[in-house]
Copies of this chain bind each other. A is one copy, B any other.
Amino acid sequence: MEPSSPSSKRRKVEGLEGVADSQAARSVEDLVTPCYVGYLSIIQRNSERMLRRAQQLGCQLRPHMKTHKTIQGGILATGGTKRCITVSTLAEAEFYADAGFEDICYAVPITSEKLPRAAQLAKRCTFHVCIDHPAALEALCQFSEKVWSVFLMVDCGYGRDGVDPADPQSFAMAKGLAESPQTQLAGLYTHGGHSYDAQDKEAVQRIALEECEAVAKFAAALRAEPWKLQVPVVGVGSTPTCSNPPTALPGVTEMHPGNYIYYDTMQQALGSCSEKDIAVRVLMRVIGAYPKKNLLLVDMGWTACSKQGEASNFGRIEGYPQLKVVNLKQEAGLISSCDGSPLNFNDFPLGTLLRLEPYHSCAHTKQHDRIHILDEDRRTVLETWPICRGW
């Protein structure tokens, strides 16, 4: 068998057999545009690197599925174990549980109306919920069917959610979680999301250290007198902080980054990765040319790209550093030259395929129902992975 045949290539992707759909093994030229594609070798490399980094730091990696939302990405991110993941919606939790994943943490504060679905999940797999409010603890205790495994969310400075580790009430909540017959304290969960606002790699590393120290210190205090609580897991994570972690993470047992599997131009600007680590593209075709306005029209609008990253031209056009996306409408985008010089319109006839290196891969993923996975040649479609949708 030829090593370059699509079937032999698919066989090389361990754990992914049988997921190719009817769209597999075509060329990228056959794809309807706009669409979303991923470069398999980069996705694999990003996955393996983060697994190795967690191991070196003595941590369990609990990769976040929110960026890719695919079964196949989950298999790669867990090194094939399909165990120990983080999700951002109950729909994702159900999607992964259906595919046989285990030890799933739903990392958004849960409220009472979501408990019946969460209870169903907990019957099928090891499933953890997160809370940061006494009313949520009360709701868990009143939902009597179940002993819940619960992470207490901690605010390490991001300011989105989580309890204040300096507040005495946060200790009382941890104690309540540990001692209620309806709940058990799985551990602490924090997200150093303020690393996204850092101006450089040094600032990211400072935040990584703060993130780690805030939660490790809180865990140590909970384990000490007078609380004497079991705190099995101490989890930190954001892609910037996990891509540039401190040399050690004392007191931390888990990390849960998500974006790293794809990365994007925002992460590159934060120093989390280099351009060659960006694994996904939005594919588009030229559908109009307006020399008087020095503009090309493409069939990628904000429906395919999202409007995030407008100040950064929504990302970069692979292989054409002289081009930039200047505007996105609903189903069309406008491209011009970066420096205002006249485009050579002969180089971009109608139908020309272009590829956007995305500004924020989480946002681009949300716009699509599937991602086409390309081989090393960046042309052969090996597989098409469905993306989990909804809530």
Chain B residues closer than 8 Å to A389, beta-carbon distance:
369
Shortest Cβ gap from A150 to chain B (Å): 15
Shortest Cβ gap from A268 to chain B (Å): 19
Q: Are B109 and A288 in contact (CB under 8 A)?
A: yes
Q: Assess A109 versus B303: contact at CB under 8 Å? Given A161-B332, A330-B362, A331-B88.
A: no
* Bound form: Cα–Cα A362–B303 in Å: 9
Chain B residues closer than 8 Å to A110, beta-carbon distance:
287
Q: Are A287 and B391 in contact (CB under 8 A)?
A: no
* Bound form: Cα–Cα A290–B134 in Å: 12
Chain B residues closer than 8 Å to A66, beta-carbon distance:
330-331
Q: Are B193 and A329 in contact (CB under 8 A)?
A: yes
Minimal Cβ-Cβ distance residue in B for A117: B32
A302 CB within 8 Å of chain B = yes
Give residues 116-164 of A contacting B (CB, 8 Å): 117, 132-133, 135-136, 139, 159-161, 164
Q: Are B160 and A332 in contact (CB under 8 A)?
A: yes
Chain A residues proximal to chain B, CB less than 8 Å: 32-35, 66, 88-90, 108-114, 117, 132-133, 135-136, 139, 159-161, 164, 193, 285-290, 292-293, 295, 297, 299, 302-304, 306-308, 327, 329-332, 334, 349-351, 362-363, 366-367, 369, 389-391
What are the 5 tightest A-B residue pairs by CB atom distance, in nearest-first order?
Answer: A88-B331, A109-B287, A135-B350, A111-B350, A109-B288
Q: Are B391 and A32 in contact (CB under 8 A)?
A: yes
Q: Are A135 and B349 in contact (CB under 8 A)?
A: yes
- Excluding A88-B330, A304-B391, A369-B390, 7 further A-B contacts by CB distance (< 8 Å) are A33-B113, A66-B331, A109-B287, A111-B299, A113-B285, A136-B350, A307-B308
Q: Which one, B33, B35, B117, B289, contacts A133 given CB within 8 A?
A: B289
20 A-B pairs within 8 Å (CB atoms) are namely: A32-B90, A32-B114, A32-B117, A35-B391, A108-B331, A109-B288, A109-B297, A111-B350, A111-B351, A112-B350, A113-B351, A135-B350, A136-B350, A160-B297, A161-B290, A299-B391, A302-B363, A307-B307, A330-B362, A369-B390
Shortest Cβ gap from A212 to chain B (Å): 21
Q: Which one, B133, B285, B288, B330, contacts A350 given CB within 8 A?
A: B133
Minimal Cβ-Cβ distance residue in B for A295: B159
Q: Which one, B133, B288, B306, B334, contacts A288 given CB within 8 A?
A: B133
Minimal Cβ-Cβ distance residue in B for A193: B329
Minimal Cβ-Cβ distance residue in B for A303: B366
* Bound form: Cα–Cα A34–B33 in Å: 29
Chain B residues closer than 8 Å to A135, beta-carbon distance:
349-350
Q: Are A293 and B108 in contact (CB under 8 A)?
A: no
Shortest Cβ gap from A312 to chain B (Å): 13
* Bound form: Cα–Cα A34–B88 in Å: 13
Q: Are A288 and B161 in contact (CB under 8 A)?
A: yes
Q: Are A160 and B329 in contact (CB under 8 A)?
A: yes
Shortest Cβ gap from A346 to chain B (Å): 11
* Bound form: Cα–Cα A114–B299 in Å: 11
Chain B residues closer than 8 Å to A391, beta-carbon distance:
32-35, 299, 304
* Bound form: Cα–Cα A288–B117 in Å: 19
* Bound form: Cα–Cα A285–B111 in Å: 9
Q: Are B362 and A111 in contact (CB under 8 A)?
A: no
* Bound form: Cα–Cα A290–B299 in Å: 43
Query: Which of A164, A193, A331, A332 has most chain B Cβ within 10 Å?
Result: A331
